[in-house]
C-alpha cells in the first residue's frame, strides 16, 4: 500500500488560505483539511463556494470522505467543517488542546454557558495519536505557538503544518494571538524540521510575496535550507527576536473576532434569533495593543 497520498490544494484568494483533499489513490478514501466557509465581512453574507468546490472534486474523483480535519481554530476565515460533515457524514477532528482556546475565548465573548470541552468535534486528537486515510498511516503532532491548540497532521509522506511554517520565501507564522508564543513556535518548528528531509510540507496560507503565483508545497529539506527565518536564525533567541519584532508591526486579521466565535464552536454558525437572522457578537477593546492598519 502506497504511503504517498495524492494531495490537491484549493487556494482561496479572499483569505490566502489553502484547503486540501488528501487521498489514498488505492482505496479512493480521503480527508479534507482546513476547509473554508465563505464570509463577506462587508455585507455579512455567507456562502459555501469553497466547500462545494471541494465536494465537486471529491465527487468527480469518486472518493469517499473519511475525515474532516482542522489544524486549529482559525483567526482569518470560518471553518466549513460542520457544513462538510452535514454533506458527507464524515467525522470532524481537531487537536484536544482546542479546549484551552475555547476557555480563553469564551471569556472574551462572555459566554458563561459555552461548553469548552471540545464536544463540538467528533474526535479530539492527542499528541502522537494515529489514524488512517484509506490504507495510509497518519499521526498527529502537537504544534503550538501560533495558537494553544495547533497540530500538524502527518499523512504518509505529507505534513500539513498550517500556521507554523510558510513557503520558504515567506518564513514563519505569527505568534502574537491570545495564547501564542514565539518561543513555543520555535520548538514546534524544530519538531517539524526533524521529520525526514523528503517529507512534503503543505502550508495553510500563502500571501504571494512579490505578487508571485500562489504556492503551498515544499519539503523539509527546502525549509531547512532556504526558509528566510529558519535558515537565518540559529538559536531560539534569534528567532524570538525576529518573530516578535515582526508581530508587533502586524494588525490583527480582519476576521479574528468574527471567526473565533464560529471556529471554537466547530464551524457552527450562530443559531437564528426570533426574526430568523443569525448575529455575530463582536467584543470591543479586548485585543488592546495590536497595531492598527
Mean pLDDT along residues 121-131 = 98
- Give the fold, CATH level 3, of 6-258: Metallo-beta-lactamase; Chain A (3.60.15)
- Residue 41 CA to residue 46 CA, distance in Å, equals 9
pLDDT averaged over every residue in the chain: 97
**Per-residue pLDDT band at 165 (split at 50, 70, 90):** very high
Bridge partner list, 31: 22, 67
Q: Can you give the pLDDT at residue 293?
A: 85
- CB of 105 within 8 A of CB of 60? no
In the β-sheet with 92-95, what is the strand arrangement from edge to edge?
Answer: 6-12, 17-24, 29-33, 64-69, 92-95, 123-125
The pLDDT of 32-36, averaged and rounded, is 98
Q: What is the mean pLDDT of residues 170-191?
A: 97
Residue 77 is predicted with a pLDDT of 97
Torsion of Cα atoms, 228 then 231 then 237 then 242, to 10°: -10
- pLDDT above 60 for 42: yes
Q: How far apart are CA 242 and CA 232, in angstroms?
A: 10
Question: For the chain, how many helices (H) and strands (E)?
Answer: 7, 15
pLDDT over 60 at 41, yes or no: yes
Domain limits of the chain?
6-258
- The pLDDT tens digits for 45-91 are 999 999 999 999 999 999 999 999 999 999 999 999 999 999 999 99
pLDDT of residue 2: 56
The 10s digit of each residue's pLDDT in 212-253 is: 999 999 999 999 999 999 999 999 999 999 999 999 999 999
Q: Is 119 helix (H, G, I), strand (E, B) or coil?
A: coil
C-alpha span between 73 and 261 (Å, rounded): 9
| Per-residue pLDDT at 1 exceeds 60 | no
Amino acid at each position: 500500500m502506497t504511503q504517498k497520498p495524492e494531495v490537491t490544494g484549493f487556494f482561496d484568494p479572499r483569505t490566502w488560505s489553502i484547503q486540501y483533499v488528501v487521498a489514498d489513490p488505492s482505496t479512493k478514501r480521503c480527508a479534507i483539511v482546513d476547509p473554508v466557509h465563505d464570509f463577506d465581512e462587508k455585507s455579512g453574507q455567507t456562502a459555501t463556494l469553497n466547500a462545494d468546490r471541494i465536494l465537486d472534486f471529491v465527487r468527480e474523483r469518486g472518493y469517499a470522505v473519511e475525515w474532516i480535519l482542522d489544524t486549529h481554530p482559525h483567526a482569518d476565515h470560518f471553518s466549513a467543517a460542520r457544513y462538510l460533515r452535514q454533506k458527507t457524514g464524515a467525522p470532524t477532528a481537531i487537536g484536544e488542546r482546542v479546549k484551552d482556546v475555547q476557555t480563553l475565548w469564551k471569556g472574551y465573548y462572555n459566554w458563561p454557558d459555552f461548553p469548552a470541552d471540545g464536544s463540538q468535534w467528533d474526535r479530539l486528537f492527542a499528541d502522537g495519536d494515529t489514524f488512517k486515510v484509506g490504507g495510509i498511516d497518519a499521526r498527529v503532532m502537537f504544534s503550538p505557538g501560533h495558537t494553544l491548540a495547533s497540530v500538524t497532521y502527518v499523512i504518509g509522506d505529507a505534513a500539513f503544518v498550517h500556521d507554523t511554517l510558510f513557503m520558504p520565501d515567506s518564513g514563519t507564522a505569527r505568534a502574537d494571538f491570545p495564547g501564542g508564543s514565539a518561543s513555543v513556535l520555535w520548538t514546534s518548528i524544530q519538531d517539524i524540521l526533524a521529520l525526514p528531509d523528503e517529507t512534503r510540507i503543505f502550508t495553510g496560507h500563502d500571501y504571494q510575496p512579490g505578487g508571485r503565483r500562489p504556492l503551498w508545497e515544499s519539503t523539509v529539506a527546502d525549509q531547512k535550507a532556504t526558509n528566510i527565518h529558519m535558515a537565518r536564525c540559529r538559536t531560539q533567541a534569534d528567532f524570538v527576536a525576529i518573530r516578535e519584532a515582526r508581530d508587533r508591526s502586524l494588525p490583527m486579521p480582519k476576521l479574528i473576532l468574527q471567526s473565533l466565535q464560529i471556529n471554537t464552536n466547530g464551524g457552527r454558525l450562530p443559531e437564528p434569533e426570533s426574526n430568523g437572522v443569525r448575529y455575530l457578537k463582536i467584543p470591543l477593546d479586548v485585543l488592546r495593543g495590536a497595531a492598527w492598519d
